[in-house]
Amino acid sequence: MPLSRGSRNVRYTPRPPGHYRRRVDIAAFQGLLTPEGQALLGEIGAADVDERTLLATASRLRARHPADLVGAALTQARLRVRGRAKFGADADRMYFTPQGLEQATRASVARHRARRFADRLGGRSPRATVLDLGCGIGGDLLARARAGVGGLGVELDPLTAAVVRANLSAFALEDLAGVRQGDAAAQDPEGHAAVFADPGRRTARGRVFDPEAYLPPLGTVLALAGRAPGACVKVAPGIPHEAVPPGAEAEWISDGGEVKEAALWLGDLAGDTPRRATLLRQDREAATLVADPGLGPPPVAGWRRYLYEPDGAVVRAHLVAEVAAGLDGALADPRIAYITSDLLRATPFARPYEVLDVLPFAVKRVRAALRAQRTGNLTIKKRGFAGDVERLRRDLRTDGTEERVLVLTRVGDAPTALICREA
């Protein structure tokens, strides 16, 4: 089954439907790599490509350049602007496809992963390489190469493969890494120290949550990855824990407080823990939390002075008990990942709030309590609560001066509201 991050589940044949358009796309992209194309990209990079002026800019440029080259350059300029959210300043030197950018690994996550490859494979001789199956626009391939780990990317879509080559060239990494057009699921890992795979998790109908509905299915990818000494397989953060194979290390990663993805580390690349939560923090070292096999479930107790909201990666990795133990904390409800404690203790793995009031949920009662505290700016959080937050915000109509955090949850079957402030 084909594996491509640039064009999911589309096998390239000599003359498929839309063949002429694909040839034009590739030819136009290759034109961007010529001196004329590079000059055009530089000119557009200094111009206004906002929606309001895009048509006028395109008309002006088409008077001096071929229309397909202008279209390709404008597309790249717009994608580079969008790409800054994932790749920072590097986006202005990179090349993208729309699907490839959407599915690409965020640069901070790719760098984090590349460090493990470098640490585990860097001392091997001859130089260890990684076979990257379904490499997309090459985000992980680039990150590993910049960390000193060479590799070969495999990409089914010919345009996306051309984009990868251009990205490697843009950062002068051609001597460390390359790309081959082909069906990733048909590759042989022989001779490579490790495999990296990112199976498709989107179809025309949207996101795919069943690992065996990935493209290719997770079982197929794991079988292929298992033929290399080590492997890393990128998966959705919501992967069921029972789908993690025995002996693998599952790592959930959040960046800036938002869960981005999960990865399964196998063979030589796996650590000595079954589960790990990693929090990437700007300008600070990543924080990581691993499972404690001797730790049972956290205790259950009533609400205490502080409420801690664990990071999403901690919750996904089922490591709430580990955080609670470090805070001398408990859960108010064993099914809800809110920790309560009388201690205020700094931890990167959970955000603390001081609890000012706890009351059974009812709109009128909550509104009266918020007004009694002169609440103005209100942040609403919920976990285990089915209400419509935006409608509730309108119903509460806070107009005071104090900042408050309203936490909506449940204890047993009872909806509960906690009025808090930042601790």
pLDDT 10s digits, 235-245: 999 999 999 99
pLDDT 10s digits, 6-56: 443 333 333 333 333 344 489 999 999 999 999 999 988 877 666 676 677
Predicted confidence at residue 124, as pLDDT, reads 62
How many angstroms separate the CA atoms of 248 and 35, rounded?
Answer: 48
For range 199-208, the mean pLDDT: 80
Share of the chain above pLDDT 70, in %: 91
Measure CA 91 to chain center. Answer: 17
For range 139-167, the mean pLDDT: 96
Of 99-103, 283-287, 358-362, 418-422, the poorest mean pLDDT is in: 283-287
Q: Quick one: which of 10, 35, 34, 5 has its CA closest to 22?
A: 10
How many angstroms separate the CA atoms of 120 and 268, rounded?
Answer: 8
State the pLDDT confidence band at 288, using cuts at 50, 70 and 90. Answer: very high
Task: Report yes or no: 215 and 200 within 8 Å, Cβ to Cβ.
Answer: yes
pLDDT 10s digits, 65-94: 888 899 999 999 999 999 999 999 999 999
Predicted confidence at residue 49, as pLDDT, reads 67
Predicted confidence at residue 231, as pLDDT, reads 97
Predicted confidence at residue 123, as pLDDT, reads 63
Neighbours of 268 (CB within 10 A): 15
Q: Which two tokens stand for residue 60?
A: 């002006």
For CA atoms 288, 292, 298, 299, the dihedral sign is negative
Predicted confidence at residue 197, as pLDDT, reads 96
pLDDT 10s digits, 94-141: 999 999 999 999 999 999 999 999 999 976 655 789 999 999 999 999
Residues 6+ apart with CB under 8 A from 305: 341, 342, 344, 354, 355
Segment holding 283, helix H or strand E: none
For range 273-291, the mean pLDDT: 93
Q: What is the mean pLDDT of the chain?
A: 90
For range 263-281, the mean pLDDT: 96
How many angstroms separate the CA atoms of 401 and 418, rounded?
Answer: 19
Of residues 200 and 162, more confidence is placed in 162
State the pLDDT confidence band at 390, using cuts at 50, 70 and 90. Answer: very high
Rg of the chain, C-alpha, whole Å:
25
For range 379-404, the mean pLDDT: 94
Q: Quick one: which of 347, 338, 349 has its CA closest to 303?
A: 338
Predicted confidence at residue 8, as pLDDT, reads 38
